[in-house]
Amino acid sequence: MGALRIITIFDEDASVLRQPARKVKRFGPELQRLVDEMIETMREAGGVGLAAPQVGVPLRVFVAELPEDEEDPQSGRVYVLVNPKIIKASLEEVEGEEGCLSIPGIYGDVWRAEEVVVRAQDVNGKEIRLRAKGFLARIFQHEIDHLNGILFIDRVQDRTALRTYVQKDEEWVAEPVTLAAHYFRPLPSPVSP
């Protein structure tokens, strides 16, 4: 087993990042192999989440893992969500810095719900429901966006505040970065009830 190639927005085959992913209908060894390879890829890249479209597979699957933290009971375990859907989101939103393995070296501030409840299936097809708070909730929302063809840069309200970090005199300093307009997509309009 080896790490998969992570597709970036700068790659020729980046269109997979902008397409809504297909629902997983077949569970079995092939899906388990994909999930195992995604976990390895995420860890090798130093990420905390990875969606299948980021490795060129247009399926509704993502993996996530928070670094071990004694004070966060959500940390230290791998989350595998198949066909996830946010069924409840807190009204309270928080702004936080996000980056993405598919947009390497670029960061921006995004508003996200502080808490979400997600309904999904596990790798064997069993229905699961998870409540995520704080950073894990942010990761879940970020990865579900990937499954819908949305990138974090689409949610950044102030594109002039996009940044990269460079090392200067033994410390990391934020410097502004500009992405060409064609890398952004308008967000879909919310559906009225």
The residues assigned a catalytic role are 143
* Residue position matching structure tokens 């579900």: 144
Separation between Cα atoms, residue 64 and residue 44, nearest integer Å: 13
| DSSP character string of 9-36 | TTSTTGGGGGSPPBPP---SHHHHHHHH
Element (H, E) at 146: helix 134-147
Nearest C-alpha neighbor of 59 from the set 129, 12, 106, 120: 120
Strand ranges of the sheet holding 163-168, from the earlier edge strand across to the other edge: 93-100, 103-113, 163-168, 171-176
Integer Rg of the chain from CA: 17
Tokens of 177: 């970065």
Neighbour count for residue 165 (Cβ, 10 Å):
15
Separation between Cα atoms, residue 30 and residue 140, nearest integer Å: 23
- The helix/strand/coil state of 58 is coil
